[in-house]
Amino acid sequence: MYKVVDIDDAKTMVKEKYSKFSLDSEVIKVEESLGRTLFEEVVSKENVPHFNRSTVDGYSVISSETASASASSEILFDLVETIEIDDGNIKTLNKGECIYVPTGGMLPNKADSVVMIENTETLGDSILIGSPVSKYENVLLLGQDTKIGEAILEANHQVRPQDIGLMKSLGINKVKVYKRVTVAIISTGDEIVDPATEVLPLGKIRDINSYTLSSLLERLGANVVFQTVLLDDEDLLRNTIKEVEADIVLVSGGSSVGFKDNTFKVFEELGEVFVHGVAIKPGKPTIFGSSDKILIGLPGHPTSCLVVANVFLPFIINNLMGIEGLNPYIKMPALENLIGADGRAKYEMVKVENIDGELYAKPIRGKSGMISLMTRADGYVIINRNQEGIIKNKKVKVYLFK
Amino acid sequence: MYKVVDIDDAKTMVKEKYSKFSLDSEVIKVEESLGRTLFEEVVSKENVPHFNRSTVDGYSVISSETASASASSEILFDLVETIEIDDGNIKTLNKGECIYVPTGGMLPNKADSVVMIENTETLGDSILIGSPVSKYENVLLLGQDTKIGEAILEANHQVRPQDIGLMKSLGINKVKVYKRVTVAIISTGDEIVDPATEVLPLGKIRDINSYTLSSLLERLGANVVFQTVLLDDEDLLRNTIKEVEADIVLVSGGSSVGFKDNTFKVFEELGEVFVHGVAIKPGKPTIFGSSDKILIGLPGHPTSCLVVANVFLPFIINNLMGIEGLNPYIKMPALENLIGADGRAKYEMVKVENIDGELYAKPIRGKSGMISLMTRADGYVIINRNQEGIIKNKKVKVYLFK
């Protein structure tokens, strides 16, 4: 028989056992890549800027010619031309000359700096300059921002709005990302009925987990391809898992004892089970296994299900994309005492309060099994097994829900 | 003429002037409401649980009958029945009797508590109980989680995965949310070309802002209905703004001086301009006005545009949904010194580093106008006007990008 394991041990096993699974890549339009994970680094095909560019409105000069300029001894330059912002013709500057360049405009040949317009005076066709500029002052040199062949975004980076703007501006219109992981969600339990059920028969409850899970998975960038409620029937469960086409099958059970056995048994028949019970409270009845698919059994209790899903699903999905690392956490003081559970790690739901920019973890109190608990929680704190609890004002690690 | 105003003053004016605009509501399916903002509170139509429910596997009893139980003096109860998880028939308990109830099962009449199975022993058809239970121990009473008519989610709440699960489980299938705000994005500037342009002519740059803005707006839940690149032409800009159907028109300009005047002039002709220039660096050339639409002029510099969009767009969109409040920030120590700008608030781009759960703000260095700056930034720190700078290790307020 299997015995209950620690979260970290479960994660180690999950990582090793699921290493045979991975996500393929696909090429998509850059403007549709928001939130997707890059399969490979993105390399610039161009220099940015692709000419020496002024970063201010002003007069391009040869910097050495301004070296002796001062307020009491201004230097006169001939204004020989005004460059338009979109001027594609390359001018050339001669000694004693300056050429007006707008912000973003192209510098003439030989010019190596720009004097800001507010630091100059106009005198007929000439410009008076009263302070020196250094070489390359107010200039972005060709390729100084980004060079051809330079990686502008790393592999495994999650695409943000500004990344899309950057890629598009570099003429990059397609990008290679990981395919979305496909997930099937099965809720089982004789007491569970479809949420569409109008009038609830006595003793029954509407399914809550499949919708919580599918929305969570949507946030994680997954593609939920199948969602159903099944009676607690071994054959039904086995056949459903066998036939569904998905990378991951999530089975969230009812709270009856029979449930756990069914899921475990079916998983074993279809492949192998390597974790049966994780030492977290709430959430103990958690199962990890695999066939040709990743098989995960989640507890039926809504809060437990949410916690376990938040602890393991981002970890597993990241692993499928070759991204190492555990769930990120933020340390913040607890607003109240937290009490541990005997011999098991306990996941205490907390609300994160932002009081003038300082974050605090406020435990959410309620009886086990209350579904309203989870709508008030922003994340959770882990109280380790054998840890009696956490004292108020002590810093705790808060793992935020996605 | 207008003069440059502080960010806070700009926000006050924006709030007052745009108060005539607001978003309508629409009713959508609960499972499609992830990330949407509730127009009104969501009220439970049912009691949860809708029967007295056991939170453990065990034997339901009349608690007063266990009062004298101890390890040395166990009390014997007749096991008269076993309730199935989905049993809809109400049993009744008599004195000296117990009935088995699984986790989630319905308590018999008269029973007021459940003794956990692990705290009992079986003796033929009887159950030995060796410690007392208190009234309502291991029981969730009818409506204790959520009562009929109780608000389970507040108005203006942004829907999360667990909220969807909760609503579905309560038989709530439709929800009233704010309509998505519709936005038109116009990039202007003679030097700007469509990002689809394969080979960039000398002196030109591909549009970067419209894609950054549309992806950012997607994150903010907006609906980008129109997106174009225009030459710097007054009539063209005026007609485009007039004809487009959107709640908000964003005009991001080139960096040429001519641009600012065009946008300002056209906004004034179409309605009014009440902010022309905001004292932030980068981002000074920012315009707020309105006609029958909200009209916003953003700076052309990509980093400036991103900063101004992040400072004002969530604020404006929230206001349209009656949500007060400024952008949230988190305080964290700066990893390096930050230097201010003379007489203007300065927005310093920072990367947020999470070192073992402690957050730090690391300034991103680079020349003004570098587009690669913004791909490295997670947010920004404001250095107030007349503030010389911020010393390393001092806590700063970091406003995170969406």
Q: Do B367 and A55 contact (CB within 8 A), yes or no?
A: yes
Would you say residue B256 has pLDDT above 60? Answer: no
Q: Do B232 and B240 contact (CB within 8 A), yes or no?
A: no
Would you say residue B184 has pLDDT above 50? Answer: yes
| pLDDT tens per residue across span A268-281 | 999 999 998 887 76
The proportion of chain A whose per-residue pLDDT surpasses 70, expressed as a percent, equals 95
Span A73-82, average pLDDT: 92
CA nearest B203: which of A116, A98, A49, A100?
A: A49
Angle at A277 between CA A274 and CA A280, to 5 degrees: 130
Q: Do A69 and A130 contact (CB within 8 A), yes or no?
A: yes
DSSP letter, residue A263: H
Query: If DSSP states are collapsed to H, E and C, what string results for A58-83?
Result: EEEECHHHHCCCCCCCCEEEEEEEEC
List the single range of A45-54, A287-296, A329-338, B320-329 with lowest mean pLDDT: B320-329
List chain A residues with CB under 8 Å of B399.
none
Span A300-323, average pLDDT: 87
Q: Do B211 and A31 contact (CB within 8 A), yes or no?
A: yes
The proportion of chain A whose per-residue pLDDT surpasses 90, expressed as a percent, equals 53
CB–CB contact B161 A200 (8 Å): no
Would you say residue A259 has pLDDT above 90? Answer: no
Is the model more confident about A80 or about A369? A80
Query: What does the pLDDT read at residue A48?
Result: 86
Written as one letter, the residue type at A73 is S
Is the model more confident about B283 or about A53? A53
Span B96-123, average pLDDT: 92
Q: How far apart are the first and last CA of chain A?
A: 34
pLDDT band at A383 (very low <50, low <70, confident <90, very high): confident
Span A167-192, average pLDDT: 93
B-interface mutation test, from A215, A233, A303, A373, most B Cβ less than 10 A away: A215
Which phi-psi region, left, alpha or beta, contains residue A69 (left: φ > 0; alpha: ψ -120 to 50)? beta
Span B137-154, average pLDDT: 91
Written as one letter, the residue type at B240 is T
Nearest CA in chain B to A190: B86
pLDDT band at B370 (very low <50, low <70, confident <90, very high): confident
Span B17-31, average pLDDT: 96
| pLDDT tens per residue across span A387-399 | 778 888 899 999 8
CA nearest B99: which of B87, B82, B85, B113?
A: B82
CB–CB contact B85 A169 (8 Å): no
Average pLDDT of every residue of chain B: 88
Task: Name the minimum distance, in Å, from the CA of B373 to any CA of chain A.
Answer: 9
- Distance between CA atoms of A206 and B168, rounded to whole angstroms? 8
pLDDT band at A85 (very low <50, low <70, confident <90, very high): confident
Would you say residue A257 has pLDDT above 70? Answer: no
CA nearest B268: which of B297, B226, B247, B248?
A: B297
Strands B389-390 and B338-339, sheet pairing: antiparallel
Q: Do A256 and A224 contact (CB within 8 A), yes or no?
A: no
Q: What is the CA radius of gyration of chain A?
A: 31
Considering only the beta carbons, identify the residue of A191, A370, A402 that sits closest to B86.
A191
CB–CB contact B218 A105 (8 Å): no
Nearest CA in chain A to B306: A162
- Distance between CA atoms of B153 and A372, rounded to whole angstroms? 10
Would you say residue A51 has pLDDT above 50? Answer: yes
Place of tokens 């008519």: B149
B-interface mutation test, from A211, A219, A257, A376, most B Cβ less than 10 A away: A211
Would you say residue B300 has pLDDT above 70? Answer: yes
Query: What does the pLDDT read at residue A232?
Result: 83
Is the model more confident about B190 or about B47? B47
pLDDT band at A365 (very low <50, low <70, confident <90, very high): confident
Handedness of CA A264, A265, A271, A275 (dihedral sign): positive
CA nearest B146: which of A213, A198, A362, A373?
A: A373
Question: How far lies B180's CA from each of B174, B275, B319, B323, B351, in Å?
Answer: 17, 25, 13, 14, 30
Q: Which residues pair with B136 in a beta bridge?
A: none
CB–CB contact B165 A189 (8 Å): no
Considering only the beta carbons, identify the residue of A104, A255, A328 that sits closest to B254.
A104
Task: Name the minimum distance, in Å, from the CA of B180 to any CA of chain A.
Answer: 18
CB pairs under 8 A between A and B: 292
Considering only the beta carbons, identify the residue of B168, B371, B374 that sits closest to A211.
B168
Is the model more confident about B95 or about B103? B95
Q: Which two tokens stand for residue B223?
A: 């609906």
CB–CB contact B256 A166 (8 Å): no
DSSP letter, residue A208: -
Task: Name the minimum distance, in Å, from the CA of A312 to any CA of chain B.
Answer: 16
Which residues contact residue A72 at a Cβ distance below 8 angstroms, ignoring those fewer than 6 apart?
Answer: none
List chain B residues with CB under 8 Å of A187.
none
Considering only the beta carbons, identify the residue of A152, A209, A331 that sits closest to B358.
A331
Rank A67-71, A239-243, A261-265, B52-56 by mean pLDDT and report only the highest: A239-243
Span B57-84, average pLDDT: 92
Considering only the beta carbons, identify the residue of B51, B372, B377 that sits closest to A152.
B372
| pLDDT tens per residue across span A209-244 | 899 999 999 988 999 999 999 988 889 999 999 999
3-state DSSP helix/strand/coil percent for chain B, to nearest 5?
Answer: 25, 35, 40
List chain A residues with CB under 8 Å of B310.
none
Span A61-73, average pLDDT: 93
DSSP letter, residue B220: T
Would you say residue A8 has pLDDT above 60? Answer: yes
Backbone angles phi, psi at A193, to 5 degrees: -120, 160
pLDDT band at B369 (very low <50, low <70, confident <90, very high): low
Would you say residue B258 has pLDDT above 50? Answer: no
Which residues contact residue A86 at a Cβ distance below 8 angstroms, ignoring those fewer than 6 apart?
Answer: B190, B191, B203, B204
Q: Do B126 and B77 contact (CB within 8 A), yes or no?
A: yes
List chain B residues with CB under 8 Å of A211.
30-31, 161, 164-165, 168-169
Span A109-137, average pLDDT: 93
Nearest CA in chain A to B31: A211
Task: Name the minimum distance, in Å, from the CA of B152 to any CA of chain A.
Answer: 8
Strands A280-281 and A345-355, sheet pairing: parallel
CB–CB contact A371 B31 (8 Å): no
Span B346-358, average pLDDT: 89
Nearest CA in chain A to B219: A161
Considering only the beta carbons, identify the residue of A86, A164, A377 that sits closest to B211.
A164
Query: What does the pLDDT read at residue A326?
Result: 59
Q: Which two tokens stand for residue B79?
A: 């096991």
B-interface mutation test, from A154, A169, A229, most B Cβ less than 10 A away: A169
Q: Do B6 and B345 contact (CB within 8 A), yes or no?
A: yes
Query: What does the pLDDT read at residue A104?
Result: 82
Q: Which residues pair with B396 in a beta bridge?
A: B332
List the single range of A313-317, A336-340, B94-98, B248-252 with lowest mean pLDDT: A336-340
List the single range of A235-239, B111-115, B306-310 with lowest mean pLDDT: B306-310
CB–CB contact A203 B87 (8 Å): yes
CB–CB contact A203 B163 (8 Å): no
Task: Name the minimum distance, in Å, from the CA of B321 to any CA of chain A.
Answer: 21
The proportion of chain B whose per-residue pLDDT surpasses 70, expressed as a percent, equals 95
User: What pTM did the predictor assign?
Assistant: 0.83
List chain B residues with CB under 8 Å of A51.
202-203
Place of tokens 């250095």: B383
List chain B residues with CB under 8 Å of A258.
85
Is the model more confident about B100 or about A195? B100
Task: Name the minimum distance, in Å, from the CA of B64 to any CA of chain A.
Answer: 21
Query: What does the pLDDT read at residue B283?
Result: 65
CA nearest B31: which of A183, A228, A195, A370?
A: A195
Q: Which two tokens stand for residue A320?
A: 């499928």
CB–CB contact A212 B145 (8 Å): no
Helix ranges (H only) for A145-296 are 161-169, 209-219, 234-243, 257-270
CB–CB contact A371 B48 (8 Å): yes
Considering only the beta carbons, identify the residue of A55, A200, A368 that sits closest to B55.
A368
Average pLDDT of every residue of chain A: 88
3-state DSSP helix/strand/coil percent for chain A, to nearest 5?
Answer: 25, 35, 45
CB–CB contact B302 A161 (8 Å): no
pLDDT band at B400 (very low <50, low <70, confident <90, very high): confident
Which residues contact residue B9 at a Cβ distance below 8 angstroms, ignoring those fewer than 6 apart?
Answer: none
Q: Which residues pair with A379 in a beta bridge?
A: A350, A400
- Distance between CA atoms of B237 and B269, rounded to whole angstroms? 11
